Amino acid sequence: MDNINIFEPEWIVPKNIFALQTTRNTNPRKESSHLNKIKLSTNFGLEFINKKAIGLNQSHSNTSIELPSDDRDADAAYTKHPRVICSIRTADCMPLLITDEEGSFVAAIHAGWRGLSSGIIENTLKKINAKGKIIVWIGPHISQECFEVGPEVRNIFLENDSTTDEAFKHGANGKFFLSMLKVAQLKLLSLGVEKIYITKNLCTYKNSNNYYSYRREASKERMTSLIWMEA
């Protein structure tokens, strides 16, 4: 896979919706001129990245907050206000960027296995209570073949949602391989979400040229997924 620096999600959304995904190669100053050829408004997002603006205090919770807010202790954020950026940071966990066909809101979710199992997606969408049909983009995260978990993780999922059983494949020594993508798809479909876009070459663990992976290198570095809307 060729090195990539920063990219826009490949999805079909209203014209007032903008989003960016950073990689381990991102340099906002260098990328500005390239992205301006696509959309001038991406400068707003690049400024956010370049300033290392304060995002959420993520803790693998199922807490979602509405922005703007002084409270930053959450793993998901949404807003119905223009030019308010929702952003999350990941390095194996799953980023989800969300809007609707009306372009009436934007949201960003940091979904690791703990958040997925405890309802971070459900909590966020219920709080938003969108009027239009929801559109979701699922960004780079660790793939099933690289994500081995113990039976206790599977048990937590099944206790909360028995349908997630199909997201697990048996591994060696009583362990399992978890597809966070499958879990997210199951949950989104159960909530009536049909428009789900998935990034290509999504595995953070395998794509070391482009993505940070905590499981691969125990790095403290993270990628940023951000979304906002214009008036």
User: Is residue 114 within 8 Å of residue 60, measured between CB atoms?
Assistant: yes
Encoded amino acid at 111, one letter: A
Q: What's the pLDDT at 35?
A: 47
Q: What does the pLDDT look like over 32-86, one tens digit per residue?
A: 444 444 454 567 887 887 777 768 999 999 999 999 999 999 999 999 999 999 9
Share of the chain above pLDDT 70, in %: 90
H-helix or E-strand spanning residue 155: helix 151-160
**Between β-strands 94-100 and 134-138, what pairing exists: parallel, antiparallel or unpaired?**
antiparallel
Is residue 1's pLDDT more than 90?
Answer: no
Region 20-33: mean pLDDT is: 70
- Reported as a single tens digit per residue, the pLDDT across 100-135 is 999 999 999 999 999 999 999 999 999 999 989 999
**Domains of the chain with CATH codes:** 6-142+196-229 (3.60.140.10)
| Residue located via tokens 């954020």 | 77
Place of tokens 């028995």: 162
Per-residue pLDDT at 115: 97
Residue 93: pLDDT over 50:
yes
- Integer Cα distance of 23 and 13 in angstroms: 22
Mean pLDDT of the chain: 91
Sequence-distant (6+) residues with CB within 8 A of 102 are 14, 130, 131, 132
Pick the closest to residue 92 from 72, 114, 125, 74 (CA basis).
114
Query: Which region among 43-57, 149-163, 185-199 has the lowest average model confidence (pLDDT)?
Result: 43-57
Integer Cα distance of 36 and 42 in angstroms:
7
pLDDT (0 to 100) of residue 38: 45
